[in-house]
Structure 1
Amino acid sequence: MKRFPATLCGLASAVAFSYLNRDIKAILIGEVDDKISSFPQLKKFFISESKKEKFESTSCKISDLVVKMIKKKIKPSKEDLELFAVAVYLKSEALLGPNVTFKDAQVLTFCLKNGINLKDALSKIEDHPMIALDLMTKPVKVIHISTKISDVKKLIERSGLTGLPVVDENSYVVGMITKKDVERAFKSGIEDLSMVMSIPAISVKSDESIQKIGELMAMHDIGRIVVTDDQMKAIGIITRRDLVRAIASASKVYEVTSDISEKMKTIVPSKLLDLLKELGEFANAKNKKIYAVGGFVRDLLMNEKSLDVDVVVEGDGIEMAREFAAIKNVKVLTYPEFGTAKILLNGNSIDVATARTEYYEVPGALPKIESSNLKKDLYRRDFTMNAMAIDLVPPKFGTLLDFFGGREDIKNRTIRVLHSMSFIEDPTRMLRAVRYAAKFDYKLSEQTQKLFNNALKNGYLNSVSSSRIRAEFERSLEDEKAEEIFDLFQRYGIFKTLYCDTAIDFKRFFRILKSIDHCRIKKFYAIFILILKNCSLTRAIEIMKFYGLPKKFLEAFAKIKDETFLSLLENVKTPFDLHQLLSKLPEELLSVLAYENTFENNVLQYVRTISKVKLEKINGSLLTAKYGIKGIEIKKVLDEILKAKIDEGLDEMEALDRIISEKK
């Protein structure tokens, strides 16, 4: 099926088709039983094969789909069957309509025989009729009729929108322009928007039914409808995708909203919970909407506590943060370039942001920001599990908003991107996907895995700045599952793509780090040098410069690639010789050397004992003042004293007396 009409039947087909279970054996329609015969409308359809053809010409599209499934021995899930039953029942007018076909009856029979309660299925729509207001996106982005086509093209490219309502000088909706319209006009050199926009714009009022909206889309073959007020001013927009999600929600594929206020009481610390309620009440008094979003919501659904909260405001987030902080007499930090602020109080930090959408001028770049609404703000995020919100405004406090199925993905331990361009627009999401997979023991969804592999293969990760990749690595190093995360980075081919092929035992390396005084070691430098160790010297130095590593690491790195140095380290004869080899190397390099079995004992001996031996009583000034030793002789004598102290355990003064007597 290449395309589904935007009717209820067609949309149900689209949703069901997306969720079909193809791995279960088929159950074909059998003989009529008591349950089915209780529907008198069905009786007339149990006819001979020769008479079936006259019923086939106008069958419901979904009936065709299900009959094909039956023939191919595919058993749909219960959710699929529920969709099929409702769609066929409504389309065929309870099997009493003038265009009802044998296939319609066959499909409804199939659904009933497989356990579907039609009354319950229908009640999900009848008890909760959805209208335009329930599913429209607001505020809606509009374009003025005087805007040039070239400027509309730029807006569409950076925002990812596929269509925009066109308004006149009074903000009345006068037309609709789509991405295809713009592309055709641009190729033809047309700049006048009024020449190519669709007139009139197909619109509905906010109380229009979902069925009527579907019919309008199908009738006019359009993918979006603008919602207007009585003055024909745009107040929202509904896309075909919005309709599909509405059907999916009604069919319990996943619930868009649910009350988790009780869960919040049991998991969120009471002081933080009270603070969130205060924020909601404050926003309500200002006639604003405010939501908790992101990791806080995700962790809550995973039954984990999170003391740092991100909230999104539909409106000016910075202004609200300042006003709330003033009332609470607490500190607030603002970041106008990003439309964000941070409120600091009672040991908690609350990051406040204006609801926004973002666009990427080139892959891997930092995004450009524009104000938007909650749904678009969530849609710009990395994965479905991070794209949920909790309403904080009474009386809906504690209502989970899950437009993209994040809760179901958490339940199924699945990482899923929100759109196919996700890894291309921001390739650092690839690193985050792997980090989350290791941190939570999740798997990438099949489609997400394909998108990941394609983006990695095509080198999009190489377009990201060194500072952003380093930030992701450092964040991963701070995680309690850092060992598993870096092992998964390696297995996914991240290091091979960015630097060179590796075969590192990260369990062993993190053990080495712990055995050394790892509090003094900058873990990023240590692990980064280990990753580069397998690269050529030229390539490794080039990468270290690109990542801004201090010069001392560039100089020291050459040593761990030097065969002569490595041979001396392996065959070192005395502890002092070991000191001479290793004393000038940064501890991060020592951890990399210790990772090799050949050098582990020698390096750890140096770190744990030899490196701690220092000259405490004797220095150059004493040698000059008391013994007249000057110039380069001072270093020679100090080295001899230190050697005696390290190798023989002599006291410094005893060693000095012996050296002086030997010189006489």
Structure 2
Amino acid sequence: MAKTLGNVQDLTPVMDTLWSRIDAHILVAGVTSGRQAWIYARSRIPDLEVSGLFKDLHARPDERWTRFTLPDGEPDSVRKSLVELLSSRLPADSTAGDVMTVSPKCVDESQTVANTHDMMLRFNLMSLVVKRGDQFAGIVTRRDLDRAVQMDLWDSPIAPFVPSQPPFVTRETPVRIVRKLMVRHDVTKIPVIEEGRILGIVTAREVLRGLRELLPPPAEYLQQVEPVPVPDRNAMETLLKRVTPIKVLHVLRKVSATAEARKIAAYAVGGFVRDLLLERPNLDMDVVVIGDALPFAEAVSAELKAHLTVFDRFRTARLSFEDLKIDFTSARREHYAQVGALPQVELGGIANDLSRRDFSINAMALDLSAGSFLTLVDLFGGLRDLHEGRIRILHSFSFLEDPTRMFRAIRFACRFHFDLAEDTQRAFDLARQREALTTLSPKRVGAEITRCLHEESPGRVIDRLYAAKLMRVLHPDLADASVLPARFKLIPGIIRRFAPLHEPIDGEVVHWIGLLASLAPEQAEKLLIEMGMHANRRTAIVKSIRALSEVPLRLARLAAQDDVGLFTLLKPLPIEGLVALVAFVLDKAGARQIFDFLGRLRGVRVELCGDDLIALGIPAGAHMRTIFDALLEGRLRGSITSRKDETDHAQRIFSGLRLPLSGRNGRQPAP
């Protein structure tokens, strides 16, 4: 601040000269004269809008400067007011608590070198936090243990190899201070401690991500560091309003407010973010919470007055709000002990949670914190992969750790018309050559194939699965797409031909009938049992597979007007079996017979019931089946058209059976 006794003219040239000579991130300068101060402000920080800092002071932004006046002629007083205002309004430093990974893997100092070394190998870690009881003792690294192993100290406790007085920080320590400590102590990890207890750990990766970008990258490097323009918060909100119903934004604001009130971080993650960027509506959302998800989900549910389903075993919850579904989970990290095994799960931070996901396009998040609402978090280049149309794994062992990702890679590639990235294709081929899929149970394989059947074009996905030689892991006889029925890809269109029935048709069942049609019914049933298929669906599939070989010939032998024969042949089959017959094996004449049955005969019923026959004096017994069969045949032939006809016919049939009449209560009449 400067003071002048003369008149104040246009200060812009002076301020431009000052700006060129001072390398400041933010420059606020001014001149006082009399009882007034003329203030000029400007910033080199890309995301900082200077005019917003001084909005209530009637600041006037122009091409370069934001200008305003203050009713104060004392430079020291003006300087103090401006410093206080900037301190309260400038974004706070990122802290260790903002970026740390919670619940780091720990080991007690009494553990042996052998056990600790094995733990590092099993969980693919380069260091472990060491505890003394429940207090922090230090960090032991793989390098330390490798030296101990070289000296054959397998049975030694690790305590002697843990450096004394290691650096640590608190939750409130600014990230820029953490960086300085890492440089000073030549370490890549620093624990976050509170009263001796371990809250989390900050790695060099989190520090680099947590440091704010003060200056934009030089133009010549922009394409290298940001090959795809990253939408800002305003752009994401505009996109959200355009792609999804307005209630989605309303719900996300409620989640954000709940996170702010509870002082925790929450993110919308995964498929919802991916589909939003692809401008595909998706009302199924995943929200990841840094901490315990259950109480947070309960608080959001109370705010929205929405139904909440809690899964205590997994500490997750699902909220239903109209047609919107939100799954709440705690941020976690995963370790795979061996190929194809289910992962071991621990709490973690958002970086851990995103890094455990299958593909880069599914590893993006929207920050729901109040100060960063709808900021895109893309740590693995998912946005670029979306723009370039490719499916890319996050690390080269991804398919070996979880071979089900091979099915998902093909499913997503078909859904979005993407290609597998070159390194992803190599990893895919390696996992197939190493027969990683053989480690999966039929239940897990069946579940992945079932998800493929729910895609928009399931036939195309199944073709790709056959081409990639993945189907044979389900059964050796499913080695080539030639075993599929010729019209397998036409199933969705054929199902639409049955729409006039206004009856739900399980497309998944129809597809499974086609997939397993080349197997013997007994083989198919055994496989479906191993897959854990529900009994009703399993029965429908096996019965329909058997019908594919039996029904066509019997249909062809039926006389033209044999309604009874047609009804008897087709009535036991589920609607999905009838669809499969039309789709896979019948010619036009056979298909006409199916639709004739559905249109005229399938709904034929006998009106009388067992109680009605007893009321007529006909005793209960096996003969009732004979009577009902005769009544149904009469209905089908057209000789019986009313309830009265059924009553008369039932009595005539019973009389012909020469059995004694019963009383109305079913007992024999007294002599």
Coarse TM-score class (shorter-chain normalised): 0.5 to 0.7
Identity %: 25
Superimposed CA distance per residue, residues 355-374 of structure 1 (whole angstroms, 9 cap, x where no aligned partner): 11123345444433211111
Say if 1:296 and 1:244 are closer, same or farther in 2 by CA, change over 3 A: closer
Structure 1-normalised TM-score?
A: 0.65
Please list, as runs of the form range in 1=range in 2, the aligned pairs for 1:318-467 lying within 5 A after superposition: 318-326=294-302, 329-345=305-321, 348-467=324-443
What corresponds to 1:552 in structure 2? 539
Cα distance, 1:293 vs. partner? 1.1
Say if 1:439 and 1:336 are closer, same or farther in 2 by CA, change over 3 A: same
2:370 is paired with a residue whose SS is coil
- Structure 1 residue 267 corresponds to structure 2 residue 232: no
What corresponds to 1:122 in structure 2? none
Cα distance, 1:538 vs. partner? 4.3
Cα distance, 1:543 vs. partner? 0.3
Structure 1: gaps of 5 or more residues: 1-129, 218-223
Of 522, 540, 543 in structure 1, the residue corresponding to residue 524 of structure 2 is 540
Q: d(CA) in 2 for partners of 1:286 and 1:620?
A: 65
Structure 2: gaps of 5 or more residues: 1-92, 212-216, 658-671
Q: d(CA) in 2 for partners of 1:261 and 1:227?
A: 35
Say if 1:639 and 1:279 are closer, same or farther in 2 by CA, change over 3 A: closer
What corresponds to 1:163 in structure 2? 127
Cα distance, 1:379 vs. partner? 0.5
Cα distance, 1:375 vs. partner? 0.1
Q: d(CA) in 2 for partners of 1:518 and 1:482?
A: 23
Q: d(CA) in 1 for partners of 2:616 and 2:271?
A: 67
- Structure 1 residue 608 corresponds to structure 2 residue 598: yes
Q: d(CA) in 2 for partners of 1:528 and 1:595?
A: 13
Number of residue pairs the alignment of both structures matches = 526
Q: Is the Cα contact below 8 Å between 1:256 and 1:405 reproduced in 2?
A: no
Cα distance, 1:404 vs. partner? 0.3
Of 87, 90, 101 in structure 2, the residue corresponding to residue 138 of structure 1 is 101
Using CA pairs under 8 Å that are at least 6 residues apart, name the structure with larger relative contact order, 1 or 2: 1
Say if 1:201 and 1:534 are closer, same or farther in 2 by CA, change over 3 A: farther
Q: Is the Cα contact below 8 Å between 1:152 and 1:182 reproduced in 2?
A: no
Cα distance, 1:391 vs. partner? 1.4
Superimposed CA distance per residue, residues 184-215 of structure 1 (whole angstroms, 9 cap, x where no aligned partner): 48997435223566889799995379899799
Cα distance, 1:242 vs. partner? 8.9
Q: Is the Cα contact below 8 Å between 1:359 and 1:369 reproduced in 2?
A: yes
Say if 1:186 and 1:542 are closer, same or farther in 2 by CA, change over 3 A: farther
Letter in structure 1 aligned against 2:116? V
Of 192, 203, 209 in structure 1, the residue corresponding to residue 157 of structure 2 is 192
Superimposed CA distance per residue, residues 456-510 of structure 1 (whole angstroms, 9 cap, x where no aligned partner): 4544444444554444444444444444434443443332331223433433222
Q: d(CA) in 2 for partners of 1:527 and 1:627?
A: 50
What corresponds to 2:292 in structure 1? 316
Letter in structure 2 aligned against 1:590? L
Please list, as runs of the form range in 1=range in 2, the aligned pairs for 1:473-492 lying within 5 A after superposition: 473-492=449-468
Say if 1:644 and 1:380 are closer, same or farther in 2 by CA, change over 3 A: same
Letter in structure 2 aligned against 1:567? L
What corresponds to 1:63 in structure 2? none
Bigger Rg, structure 1 or 2: 2
- Structure 1 residue 207 corresponds to structure 2 residue 170: no
What corresponds to 1:173 in structure 2? 138
Deviates more, 1:635-644 or 1:362-371: 635-644
What corresponds to 2:39 in structure 1? none
What corresponds to 2:30 in structure 1? none
Q: d(CA) in 2 for partners of 1:403 and 1:600?
A: 56
Q: d(CA) in 2 for partners of 1:642 and 1:183?
A: 87
What corresponds to 1:568 in structure 2? 554
Deviates more, 1:310-319 or 1:507-516: 507-516
Letter in structure 1 aligned against 2:578? L
Say if 1:496 and 1:177 are closer, same or farther in 2 by CA, change over 3 A: closer
Q: Is the Cα contact below 8 Å between 1:385 and 1:415 reproduced in 2?
A: yes
1:381 is paired with a residue whose SS is coil
Of 572, 578, 584 in structure 2, the residue corresponding to residue 596 of structure 1 is 584
Please list, as runs of the form range in 1=range in 2, the aligned pairs for 1:241-320 lying within 5 A after superposition: 251-252=224-225, 259-268=232-241, 269-320=245-296
What corresponds to 1:152 in structure 2? 116
Say if 1:591 and 1:555 are closer, same or farther in 2 by CA, change over 3 A: same
Cα distance, 1:262 vs. partner? 2.6
1:171 is paired with a residue whose SS is strand
Q: Is the Cα contact below 8 Å between 2:182 and 2:190 reproduced in 1?
A: no
What corresponds to 2:566 in structure 1? 578
Letter in structure 2 aligned against 1:304? R
Letter in structure 2 aligned against 1:152? T
Letter in structure 1 aligned against 2:351? K
Q: Is the Cα contact below 8 Å between 1:149 and 1:182 reproduced in 2?
A: no
Deviates more, 1:133-142 or 1:445-454: 133-142
Say if 1:423 and 1:643 are closer, same or farther in 2 by CA, change over 3 A: same
Cα distance, 1:630 vs. partner? 11
Say if 1:256 and 1:214 are closer, same or farther in 2 by CA, change over 3 A: farther
Q: Is the Cα contact below 8 Å between 1:333 and 1:343 reproduced in 2?
A: yes
Letter in structure 2 aligned against 1:489? L
Q: Is the Cα contact below 8 Å between 2:96 and 2:178 reproduced in 1?
A: no
Say if 1:584 and 1:287 are closer, same or farther in 2 by CA, change over 3 A: closer
Superimposed CA distance per residue, residues 440-465 of structure 1 (whole angstroms, 9 cap, x where no aligned partner): 22222122223233334544444444
Q: Is the Cα contact below 8 Å between 2:266 and 2:367 reproduced in 1?
A: yes
Say if 1:409 and 1:643 are closer, same or farther in 2 by CA, change over 3 A: same
Say if 1:396 and 1:566 are closer, same or farther in 2 by CA, change over 3 A: same
Q: CA RMSD in A?
A: 4.8
Say if 1:464 and 1:534 are closer, same or farther in 2 by CA, change over 3 A: same
Deviates more, 1:381-390 or 1:434-443: 434-443
Deviates more, 1:279-288 or 1:200-209: 200-209
Q: d(CA) in 2 for partners of 1:214 and 1:132?
A: 17
Superimposed CA distance per residue, residues 630-663 of structure 1 (whole angstroms, 9 cap, x where no aligned partner): 98877667656655765x6555589998x989x9
2:298 is paired with a residue whose SS is helix
What corresponds to 2:48 in structure 1? none
Cα distance, 1:437 vs. partner? 1.6
Q: Is the Cα contact below 8 Å between 1:165 and 1:201 reproduced in 2?
A: no
Q: Is the Cα contact below 8 Å between 1:265 and 1:273 reproduced in 2?
A: no
Letter in structure 1 aligned against 2:495? L
What corresponds to 1:225 in structure 2? 188
Cα distance, 1:254 vs. partner? 5.5
Letter in structure 2 aligned against 1:263? M
Letter in structure 2 aligned against 1:264? E
Q: d(CA) in 2 for partners of 1:184 and 1:498?
A: 44
Superimposed CA distance per residue, residues 246-287 of structure 1 (whole angstroms, 9 cap, x where no aligned partner): 999994156897623333234244333233234323323433
